[in-house]
Amino acid sequence: MDIKNEVLYRVYFVLFGLILPVAVVLMYRTIDIGIIQGKEWRERGEQLYMEPRPIEAERGNILAVDGSLLATSIPYFDIYMDPNSTGMKEEDFVNNIDSLAYCIANYVDEDLTVGAFRDFLIQQRQDSARFVLIKKGVSFAEKNRMEKFPLFNLGRMRGGFIAIKSSERRRPFGLLGHRTIGFIRDDGSAVGLEGYFDENLGGKEGEQLMFKVDETKDLWLPMDDLTTVEPQSGDDLHTTLDVNVQDIAEDALLRAMNYHNADWGTAVVMEVKTGAIKAMANLGRWKDSWWETRNYAVGRAVEPGSTFKLATIMALLEDGYIRLDDSVNIEKGRTSFYDQSMVDATPFSYTIDSTSIRRAFEISSNVGMAKLVNKFYGENNPTNEKNNAEKFIKRLRSFNLDIPTGVEIEGEDPPYIKDAYSQEDSWSGTTLPWMAIGYELEITPLQLLTFYNAVANGGVMMKPYLVSEISHYGKTRKRFLPTVVNQRIASKETIEKVQNLLLGVVERGTAYKLKSEQYLFAGKTGTAQVNYRRLANNTTRLDGYRATFAGYFPADNPVYSCIVMINNPRKNGFYGGDVAGPVFREIADKCYATRLELHEAYNRGPKTIRASYDLPDLDVGAKEDLEKVLDFFELPKYGDPDADFALIQSRSDSVLLQQRKLPEEAVPSVVGMGLRDALFVLENRGLKVQFSGMGKVVQQSIKPGTRARGQVISLRLR
């Protein structure tokens, strides 16, 4: 019994003396941790929550045709400090806090003193802060400098240095081509090239293990400086845009929008042979100024008005119904179709009964074009063909006028051409004549330009395109070559005839005021009524006009095609030739003056025998400059004058360089010099120079040999 009792005593001792107290303690700690301290521990658990998080990839660049940056991403960093980082030792913090505060106060933020920064950081450590802002939006170079500061140089975990990388999309050329290049909206959506090629430009996100700092702010910090999966930067886009042509188009369009107080406008320049878009400008009203609020060239299908007459005349020619020298009665610019009146928009035809079809097109006679279409495609056509309107619609579609261009910008409006006799399309007896002059159908400016470009290109229709190449770190990933949409939209004979008609519009027709003496260009004016409504009393109500000019230049060897459309000009005219035409002419003039491809090289073709009157003669200039020019043009020369300046005298097949001595104390003769050399010589002798004209000096106001005493000398150049 004694042994049994002893065992029981020992069991009771273990049970009540050891196990039961431990159980009570464990139960108490469970209640304490789970209930009493539960909120605190749950917050700590959330703070220590870790998961792989995405890392933004560097977005690719968008470049102009010459390699200039149109859009690029500039990295910047938000710098934070974790004063309670798990790897930070108290000793490291204490030993470096003074130096760190000194560096921040002197090189980062001068608003607080060194002592104030020191006290601030110490307080943040005492308050268990984990995410203390030091500075936002620092550059890459500044970030590299800051991570070398005392304490920060110990790294992310031990030094508490946190750099959160972001990027900002920048445009080195400002708002140039703003809507075409595109942009990323705050909601993440993108427009223009940025949107169409977002997948290429955006690259692929990386991945890094991070832990949550603040549940309420959804703040995450990297566990270390190493990424689990490196992000892949985006590809670069090489566009066809030419910054110089784009600048010319935008500047000319803006000036016209202000001058005419219009609602919106667009101008597009395209390379004839390839379809490459060199410029695409869009302007719309925004508050009290102008902005690229919409890409009207691509996303706004409208009734084109008289510019559509090119398609009308081509259909008539292709179907063999007319010859350009045939006559048409334009009835002094006024006629009726059923109960609807039609009048010509310009005064050219107000005194004419009959004229040639050629002349009717040149003066943009609505009556003439509408009567021809109604005659040959209407119900009472001479051949008694049934459903002949279907033939007209089919012919328009053979010109690809019913197909979107497929340009690399989202939101292209599809063209709208009615089906013949369709009740759904509200086909009526007046539809054909009104379609003939560009109404009851819709087309975007770019789609219309593509058609005109095909005419300039001898009938070969090219697909408009904005991107020529996608590359990655200089290596081509994909190349986009010019694409033929339609090998021949019309016969060679028809194309040649309408090319001549478009030239006639500029030489003798509605655009004759725009004619240039320097080069030939061809095109068609258009003046469409905006939101016109036919009223019960056979009158028309409208909300303004839409002025258009579409064409190409130079006409004898087309390089560029261009369309300008300006909607609802309120002052200083509203006709296409008065509003849109001058913008076209300004674009063409400046392109012609600055683009080498628009000029034929002088040395093209076989060399001719030189004649003395073709050679430079009696030109005076710096000897080295003259020799450089003569060598560049491979002109034979002889003579080696021992002087800084020389005189050129032409010979039968070469030039002679002769010495030209200039007096030091007297006024020298500068006749024959260019302005730069004349200024150099005269101003070095203390003379004040005035000049007029361009070219070389042909006359000077002070006789050579006169003593130089600081006089004012006038030069005339020619």
Q: What is the DSSP string of 158-171?
A: HH-EEEEEEEEEE-
Of 546, 523, 539, 542, which Cα lies nearest the Cα of 531?
542
Most confident of 145-149, 188-192, 450-454: 450-454
Question: What's the CA gap between 511 and 592, in Å, rounded?
Answer: 19
Residue-wise DSSP of 233-276: PPPEEEE---HHHHHHHHHHHHHHHHHHT-SEEEEEEEETTT-B
Lowest mean pLDDT among 48-62, 177-191, 528-542, 689-703: 528-542
pLDDT digit string, tens, across residues 367-384:
999 999 999 998 877 766
For residues 111-140, average pLDDT = 86
Give the predicted TM-score (pTM) of the model: 0.73
State the chain's mean pLDDT as an integer.
85
DSSP secondary-structure letter at 204?
Answer: B
Of 477, 448, 451, which Cα lies nearest the Cα of 462?
451
pLDDT band of residue 30 (cuts 50, 70, 90) is confident
Greater confidence, 487 or 171?
487
Lowest mean pLDDT among 41-55, 73-87, 505-519: 41-55
Lowest mean pLDDT among 111-125, 505-519, 579-593: 111-125
Distances, alpha carbon 84 to alpha carbons 89, 109, 129, 637, in Å: 9, 22, 7, 83
For residues 434-459, average pLDDT = 97
> What is residue 554's predicted lDDT score, i.e. its pLDDT?
95
Q: Is the peptide bond before 150 cis (omega within 30 degrees of 0)?
A: no
pLDDT digit string, tens, across residues 264-318:
999 999 999 999 999 999 999 887 788 888 899 999 999 999 999 999 999 999 9
| % of residues, the chain, pLDDT over 90 | 43
Of 294, 287, 282, which Cα lies nearest the Cα of 257?
282
Buried b (16+ CB within 10 A) or exposed e, 42-67: eeeeeeeeeeebebebbbbbbbbbee
Question: What's the CA gap between 59 and 169, in Å, rounded?
Answer: 9
CATH fold for domain 247-598? Beta-lactamase (3.40.710)
> What is residue 579's predicted lDDT score, i.e. its pLDDT?
96
| % of residues, the chain, pLDDT over 70 | 83
Whether 214 shows a pLDDT value over 70: the answer reads no
CATH code, 54-239? 3.90.1310.10
pLDDT band of residue 188 (cuts 50, 70, 90) is low
